[in-house]
Amino acid sequence: MVHSTRRGFIASLSAGAAALSAAAQPQEKRTGHPAIKITDLRCAIIGKNPVIRIVTDQGISGYGQAESTKPYLKPMVLFYKDYIVGEDPTDVAEVMLKIRRLGAFKPWGSAVSAIEIALWDIAGQVAGVPVYKLLGGKIRNRVRAYNGGVRFPMTGQTPQDYAENMAKMKEAKEGFTLIKQAVGFHNPAMMHSMPTGWYDQPRTGASHSDRGLMTERGMKYVISCVEAMKKVLGDEIGLALDCGPGWAVKDAITFARALEPLHITWLEDLITGDYMPYPNAELFREVTQSTSVAIHTGEEIYLRENFKDLIEKQAVNIVGPDPEDVGGLAEMKWIAEYADLHGIQIAPHGIFDGVIGLAAHVQLAAALPQNYIAFEYPVGQPDWWYQIVDGLPDPVMKGGLIDVWDKPGLGVTFNVAAAKAHLAEEDRHFFD
């Protein structure tokens, strides 16, 4: 019996050693298939969107897309080429270790994020599964999105104008169950229509540069516009408000408390937000603890480390990273899980992420934990984007929800012949 046990133990050791030896061999020796390698990284502006392509030596390409507001992304993307060429794109974490430290707050994390998404696209194609499978599997078959890129122009800035705009949104073919509208300092047209709304003057140049202490008149005006919108939507459709940044803390608290009877879904970026390289968790926490209205921020933030204070200090009720800015899909999944542990919801940003970004949002949202609310719905810009890609459902959205598809990778592929017609001369070799 002793000898038999010893022989079994020795055999077990031998088997383990053989497995370790096999694991140490190059991939092609273990699997019988050659290891896939990245051979090129490319970027083209298609329509209004920067699109990246990671090319491999096995004829498989992965795509990522950045916000349409970032046409300067091309040199930022190509900066990373030497870091990733020669790497195995299916080792997503390994590739990201080389480049994630080189990004920063919006917009400098965009290139890193787009590369990460393209890596998952390749990994899914190689494995023959949709990206959500690689992120842990889906827990929902349909994902909710709010209006984002679906907007209707306004002729004026009165409460009646806002009411009429919400009536149009309510009838939109997408059937949104949640609508977000810009107010306060996030809406320059609103604030500039009444220059006495705050104790400063409107700035020129880049958007969202105004901030200051609200006047009584200005506060009442913004509140009246919100009341007009909510009266139209009633309790059938949720109303979220994109508010800043730019509010003084006390004004933010006054505003939030005034809206409590309206059951607003959230107030976004009151204190910090677009293109601001810090989250200011302490100030957000003061607002959050002073009202029952949910407080939301996070679209400009890069990497999980920069959500740490917001989450651990319970500074907000909802975080809203953008997968195209935060570092990619796996990074956002980690943030969502950590937020869930702390009782914080997630509603991802993504208004300008385009059609490939939409595919990434759907794959990720399918796998996010139960603190998920909805993501911001990006649309193709211009409309011909829907003729140059295959794989999206038609219609994309029904009743405010999108059915999760099961095609490998992101599940969206280019109709190359159609897409080439929209390439600039300098990008003519993008699909070669």
Q: Do 82 and 195 belong together in one domain? A: no
Q: Residue 369 and residue 348: Cα distance in Å, rounded?
A: 13
- Find the range with the poorest average confidence among 5-19, 44-58, 87-101, 194-208: 5-19
- Find the range with the poorest average confidence among 75-89, 164-178, 200-214, 317-331: 200-214
Strands 318-319 and 295-297, bridge-based pairing: parallel
Give the structural domain span for 42.
Answer: 38-129
Residue 331: what pLDDT?
A: 98
User: What are the structure tokens assigned to 315, written together?
Assistant: 């500074």
Q: How many CB atoms lie within 10 A of CB 250?
A: 13
Q: Do 182 and 272 belong together in one domain? A: yes
Q: Contact 268/320 with Cβ under 8 angstroms?
A: yes
DSSP β-bridge partners for residue 297: 319
Residue 202: what pLDDT?
A: 87
Residue 27: what pLDDT?
A: 47
Higher pLDDT, 192 or 409: 409
Number of structural domains the chain divides into: 2
Confidence of residue 48 (pLDDT cuts 50, 70, 90): confident
- What is the dihedral angle through the alpha carbons of 121, 408, 67, 89, rounded to the nearest 10 degrees? 0
In a domain, residue 20? The reply is: no
Q: How many CB atoms lie within 10 A of CB 152?
A: 13
Q: How many CB atoms lie within 10 A of CB 169?
A: 22
DSSP β-bridge partners for residue 144: 401
Q: Do 143 and 71 belong together in one domain? A: no
Q: Do 174 and 211 belong together in one domain? A: yes
- Find the range with the poorest average confidence among 5-19, 86-100, 268-282: 5-19
Strands 389-390 and 413-414, bridge-based pairing: antiparallel
Structural domain ending residue among the three candidates 129, 155, 186 = 129
End-to-end alpha carbon distance in the chain? 67
Q: Note the maximum CA span of the chain.
A: 94
- Mapping DSSP onto H, E and C, the string for 224-277 reads HHHHHHHHHHCCCCEEEEECCCCECHHHHHHHHHHHHHHCCCEEECCCCCCCCC
Residue 207: what pLDDT?
A: 66
Contacts of residue 290, defined as CB under 8 A and 6 or more positions apart, other chains included, come to 253, 256, 257
Q: Do 66 and 204 belong together in one domain? A: no
Residue 54: what pLDDT?
A: 98
Q: Do 175 and 249 belong together in one domain? A: yes
Q: Do 321 and 393 belong together in one domain? A: yes
Average pLDDT of 28-40?
A: 71
Q: Do 297 and 214 belong together in one domain? A: yes
Q: Do 260 and 369 belong together in one domain? A: yes
Please state whether 291 falls in left (phi above 0), alpha (psi between -120 and 50) or beta.
beta
Strands 238-242 and 38-46, bridge-based pairing: unpaired
Q: Is the pLDDT of residue 357 over 90?
A: yes
- Residue (of 250, 270, 255) closest to 220 by Cα position: 255
Taking only the tens place, the pLDDT of each residue in 285-319 is 999 999 999 999 999 999 999 999 999 999 999 99
Instruction: Quote the distance between the C-alpha of residue 274 and its chain's center.
Output: 14
* CATH code assigned at 349: 3.20.20.120
pTM for the whole structure: 0.91
**What is residue 63's DSSP assignment?**
E
Q: Do 386 and 352 belong together in one domain? A: yes
Q: Is the pLDDT of residue 328 over 70?
A: yes
Q: Is 206 helix (H, G, I), strand (E, B) or coil?
A: coil
Q: Residue 167 and residue 235: Cα distance in Å, rounded?
A: 14
Strands 238-242 and 266-268, bridge-based pairing: parallel
User: What are the structure tokens assigned to 257, written together?
Assistant: 């408390």
Higher pLDDT, 203 or 164: 164
- Residue (of 366, 365, 411, 390) closest to 129 by Cα position: 411
Taking only the tens place, the pLDDT of each residue in 111-164 is 999 999 999 999 999 999 999 999 999 999 999 999 999 999 999 999 999 999
> In one letter, which amino acid is 188?
P
> In one letter, which amino acid is 305?
E
Residue 124: what pLDDT?
A: 98
Residue 23: what pLDDT?
A: 40
* Residues of the chain above pLDDT 70, percent: 91
Query: ∠ at Cα 41 (37, 46), nearest 5°?
Result: 135
In a domain, residue 360? The reply is: yes
Residue 201: what pLDDT?
A: 87
Structural domain ending residue among the three candidates 102, 129, 156 = 129
Average pLDDT of 234-262?
A: 97
Q: Do 174 and 82 belong together in one domain? A: no
Average pLDDT of 237-247?
A: 97
Helix residue ranges per DSSP H, 66-187: 73-78, 81-84, 92-99, 110-127, 131-134, 159-170
Average pLDDT of 352-366?
A: 97
Confidence of residue 394 (pLDDT cuts 50, 70, 90): very high
Q: Is 212 helix (H, G, I), strand (E, B) or coil?
A: strand
Q: Is the pLDDT of residue 327 over 60?
A: yes
The whole-chain average pLDDT of the chain stands at 92
* Residues of the chain above pLDDT 90, percent: 87
Q: Is the pLDDT of residue 203 over 70?
A: yes
Residue 24: what pLDDT?
A: 39
Residue 29: what pLDDT?
A: 39
- Helical axes 249-259 vs 216-233, angle rounded to 10°: 30
Q: Do 281 and 252 belong together in one domain? A: yes
